[in-house]
Amino acid sequence: MSDDRSDLVLRPADRSDDAELRRLNAEAFPANPKTRADITAWQWWDNPFGETIAHVWEDDGRLVGQYIAYRIPARFGGEPGRIAIGVDLAIAPSHRGQGLGGPLIDACFGQATEEGTPFYSYPNQLSVGGVSRGGWVQVDQLEVRVLPTGGRWRPLRVLGARVRMPSGIEVEVLDDPPDDVDALWSAVARHHPYGVERSADWWRWRYAEHPDRPYRILAARRGGSLVGLSAVITRDDLGGRYHCLLELLAIDGTAARAIVAAVRDGAVGSADGIATTGVPGSRLSELAGEAGLIRVPPRLLSRPIYFGVVPHPTIVPEPTAVPWSTAWGDLDHI
| Together in a domain, 33 and 59 | yes
Q: End of a domain among 111, 141, 171?
A: 141
| Together in a domain, 129 and 234 | no
317 found inside a domain: no
333 found inside a domain: no
222 found inside a domain: yes
Q: Is the dihedral of CA 15, 51, 28, 328 positive or negative?
A: negative
| Together in a domain, 255 and 222 | yes
203 found inside a domain: yes
What pLDDT does residue 153 have? 35
What pLDDT does residue 165 have? 61
| Together in a domain, 134 and 218 | no
| Together in a domain, 268 and 119 | no
| Together in a domain, 108 and 155 | no
| Together in a domain, 205 and 134 | no
Q: End of a domain among 77, 111, 141?
A: 141
Domains in the chain: how many in total? 2
CB 28 within 8 A of CB 20: no
pTM for this prediction: 0.92
CATH code (residue 108)? 3.40.630.30
d(CA 5, CA 137): 28
What pLDDT does residue 4 have? 60
121 found inside a domain: yes
| Together in a domain, 108 and 91 | yes
CB 183 within 8 A of CB 199: no
Please list the rounded mean pLDDT of every run of 10 residues in the chain (334 residues): 72 98 95 95 97 98 97 96 95 95 97 96 92 97 91 39 66 97 98 98 98 97 97 90 97 96 94 96 96 92 93 97 96 80
Cα–Cα distances (Å) from 68 to 55, 107, 126, 187, in that order, read 7, 10, 16, 33
| Together in a domain, 148 and 76 | no
| Together in a domain, 137 and 180 | no
Q: End of a domain among 99, 118, 141?
A: 141
314 found inside a domain: no
CB 276 within 8 A of CB 245: yes
41 found inside a domain: yes
111 found inside a domain: yes
What pLDDT does residue 157 have? 38
What pLDDT does residue 166 have? 56
What pLDDT does residue 6 have? 74
84-88: list long-range contacts, CB under 8 Å, 24+ apart.
Answer: 84/53, 84/108, 84/112, 84/117, 84/118, 84/119, 84/120, 85/119, 85/120, 85/121, 85/330, 85/332, 86/119, 86/120, 86/121, 86/123, 86/131, 87/121, 87/332, 87/333, 88/25, 88/29, 88/32, 88/34
What pLDDT does residue 238 have? 77
| Together in a domain, 175 and 207 | yes
> What's the domain range around 136?
8-141
| Together in a domain, 31 and 117 | yes
CB 63 within 8 A of CB 28: no
> 238 by DSSP, 3-state: which?
coil
